[in-house]
Chains A and B, each alone.
Chain A
Amino acid sequence: MRNRLLFSLQLGFTLLVCAFLIVPVVLSILAGLTVNYFVGLESGLTLRWVIAVWDGYRDTIFLSIGISLACLALTLVLGIPTAYVLAKRQSALSRAIEELLVMPVAVPGLATALALIVTYGSLQGFRTSWTFILVGHVLFTLPFMVRSVLAVLMAIDLKTLEEGAASLGAGFWRRFRDIVLPNCRAGILAGSLMVVTLSMGEFNMTWLLHTPLTKTLPVGLADAYASLRLEIGSAYTLVFFLMIMPLLIALQLFAQPRLEKFVAEDDKND
């Protein structure tokens, strides 16, 4: 009897928390599709606001997709070798390197952006180009790629696999390509999804790094929230939801289970 009551109380609480998170999402989706949100749904549904967003802010969508893909390419090139080295050499030095790499996540984006501006702001061609934003995004997302790949590399017996291949005459690059990369596929996939999602939504740095010609999606959102009617802001948010939804679903599907088959027997029961 008492257990039942306790269960119901907790379930009720959980549903309330859920409502707190989801109700505003639903409201904003509705607002983006309503003719006049102030009047309510009776005023009818329309795609007018979504079309207005597409006309006015299309560029921000493409720029964000472009930057997030470039960011992914760079984090792959920079992050996978780093994770490999950190997995091979576990010393105080490699821990210090890992700690350093995570700093751009720990330090507020505002500080990183200011640091980039005071250092490179006078390089006109660089300051006004989208690559300026890209640099910030790579700093911020690189640790996620490194950690994700590192986690997988630590869970497999990299040493034995590599020694086996080496004893069969495989050189370093051959081992890296045929042994290391295929084995950390799961980590690379999870890291990639994380990097793209984070880059797509990054605002703290981007707001300071952008110029009027290099507006990303979240920058456009902030613009729309500040200056346009609620319906357009909502429609724009709806577009953003549609873009990150597939990424989030993929993240939940691929990144959640920690791929048991890679885990050595001993590590399972800790």
Chain B
Amino acid sequence: MRRETQTLIFLLLPAGIFFAGFFLIPMAELFVIGGSGDRGWAAYAAIITDANYFETLIATLGVATATTIVTLIISGITGVFLQRHKFPGNATLVAMLTFPLAFPGVVIGFMVIMLAGRQGLIGQVSMALGGDRIVFAYSMAGLFMGYVYFSIPRTILTVMAAAEKLDPKLEEAARSLGASPMRVVFDVIIPGLKPAFISAGAICFATAVGAFGTAFTLATRINVLPMVIYTEFTLAANIAMAAALSFVLGAVTWIVLALARTAAGATVAAAG
């Protein structure tokens, strides 16, 4: 038994050393450097006390919240529909909806430019209809569209997996008791999918808060936290502030995900 424990510790060692050396120590270093600038340890409060950073924080959380809500609605409807109705072509639709799963943020940004950029489809269509050329890719609206684009594929997959496990008998029972389709959706389907919604929603939110590639492709002027960190680091060479802000950003996304895991887990346990 003792020997087995030794072997297990030995097996864990390579990953442990790698992880400690390249993640735990650097993160600790980042934390210390965050407190070493002009502001001292107050840099960690700057995200709340400094009006500019606070505004950026609100904007970042705003776009992330909007992304999460819209993605959950779209993916909820589409995911349940595709899981429930196996018509010819269903598999093709699922394949198309999950194709962008592996696109990096920069490519997502480019997709938004193809749709809503200066030479984009939306602008061409709006001009052809006799209106102005509509261009919104290089703004917060474009970023929002990019994040929704990015989040739909993974959220649909989660919703479909959860919808597969829903018991259709519950819906039949509700219907036979005279519930309208709307009531069935709100009283049976949505509560059943709640754990999936919580975990998928948290991932949407965390990526939208921390992602960088999409904003980078669209415009450097978009005022979201990752862009501000990047600017502080490269243009202003304010490494301490960049460190403090990114540490706070990391803490926020990690807490959101951890909370969601606990919440989703608790709901699952309560349902089972």
Interface string of A166-190 (1 = CB under 8 A from B): 0000001000000000000000000
Query: Contacting B11 at CB < 8 Å: which of A82, A110, A233?
Result: A82
Report yes or no: B100 in contact with A85, Cβ–Cβ below 8 A: no
In whole Å, how far is B269's beta carbon from the nearest beta carbon of chain A? Answer: 12
For residue B8, CB closer than 8 A to chain A, the reply is yes
Given contacts A25-B100, A207-B213, contact A118 B26 (CB under 8 A): yes
Report yes or no: B11 in contact with A218, Cβ–Cβ below 8 A: no
For residue A135, CB closer than 8 A to chain B, the reply is yes
- Chain B residues, CB < 8 A from A82: 11-12, 15
- Chain B residues, CB < 8 A from A25: 99-100, 111
Report yes or no: B254 in contact with A103, Cβ–Cβ below 8 A: yes
Report yes or no: A218 in contact with B26, Cβ–Cβ below 8 A: no
Q: Which residue of B lies closest to A13 (CB)?
A: B77
For residue A60, CB closer than 8 A to chain B, the reply is no
Report yes or no: B216 in contact with A79, Cβ–Cβ below 8 A: no
Residue from B14, B23, B109 whose CB has the most chain A CB atoms within 10 Å: B23
In angstroms, Cα B103 to Cα A24, docked, is 13
Give 5 pairs: A residue, B residue, CB < 8 Å, sorted on A: A99-B258, A106-B206, A111-B210, A114-B233, A226-B217
Given contacts A20-B149, A114-B246, A198-B102, contact A252 B114 (CB under 8 A): no
- Chain A residues, CB < 8 A from B95: 252
Given contacts A14-B78, A110-B229, A222-B217, contact A203 B27 (CB under 8 A): no
The count of residues in chain A whose C-beta lies closer than 8 Å to any C-beta of chain B is 79
Mark out the residues of chain B between 243 and 269 whose CB falls within 8 Å of any chain A CB in the assembled complex.
Answer: 243, 246-247, 249-250, 253-254, 257-258
In angstroms, Cα B230 to Cα A54, docked, is 30
Known contacts A11-B81, A114-B242; 18 additional CB pairs below 8 A are: A2-B181, A14-B81, A17-B97, A21-B100, A77-B14, A82-B15, A107-B250, A110-B230, A118-B239, A119-B26, A119-B29, A201-B107, A203-B105, A204-B226, A207-B216, A221-B104, A221-B107, A248-B102
Report yes or no: B246 in contact with A110, Cβ–Cβ below 8 A: yes
Interface string of A194-233 (1 = CB under 8 A from B): 0001101111100110000000001001100110001001
Given contacts A108-B250, A201-B102, contact A225 B110 (CB under 8 A): yes
Report yes or no: B106 in contact with A221, Cβ–Cβ below 8 A: yes
Report yes or no: A21 in contact with B99, Cβ–Cβ below 8 A: yes
Report yes or no: A204 in contact with B213, Cβ–Cβ below 8 A: yes
Given contacts A13-B77, A106-B257, A203-B104, contact A18 B93 (CB under 8 A): yes
Given contacts A139-B22, A237-B107, contact A197 B8 (CB under 8 A): no
In whole Å, how far is A140's beta carbon from the nearest beta carbon of chain B? Answer: 10
For residue B61, CB closer than 8 A to chain A, the reply is no
- Chain A residues, CB < 8 A from B24: 100
Q: How large is the interface on B (under 10, 10 to 19, 20 to 34, 35 or more residues)?
A: 35 or more
In angstroms, Cα B87 to Cα A10, docked, is 13
Report yes or no: B23 in contact with A104, Cβ–Cβ below 8 A: yes
In angstroms, Cα B29 to Cα A77, docked, is 27
Report yes or no: A28 in contact with B110, Cβ–Cβ below 8 A: yes
Mark out the residues of chain A between 1 and 46 whose CB falls within 8 Å of any chain B CB in the assembled complex.
Answer: 2, 6-7, 10-11, 13-15, 17-18, 20-25, 27-28, 31, 37-38
In angstroms, Cα B78 to Cα A202, docked, is 28
Query: Contacting A24 at CB < 8 Å: which of B18, B85, B114?
Result: B114
Instruction: Give how many A-B residue pairs fall within 8 Å (CB-CB).
Output: 217
Report yes or no: A110 in contact with B78, Cβ–Cβ below 8 A: no
For residue A133, CB closer than 8 A to chain B, the reply is no
For residue A116, CB closer than 8 A to chain B, the reply is yes
For residue B46, CB closer than 8 A to chain A, the reply is no
Interface string of B6-23 (1 = CB under 8 A from A): 011001101100110011
Report yes or no: B78 in contact with A17, Cβ–Cβ below 8 A: yes
Report yes or no: B15 in contact with A78, Cβ–Cβ below 8 A: yes
Query: Contacting A111 at CB < 8 Å: which of B4, B216, B246, B258?
Result: B246
Given contacts A27-B114, A114-B233, contact A207 B212 (CB under 8 A): yes
Report yes or no: A110 in contact with B18, Cβ–Cβ below 8 A: no
For residue A254, CB closer than 8 A to chain B, the reply is no
For residue A49, CB closer than 8 A to chain B, the reply is no
Residue from B24, B112, B113 whose CB has the most chain A CB atoms within 10 Å: B113
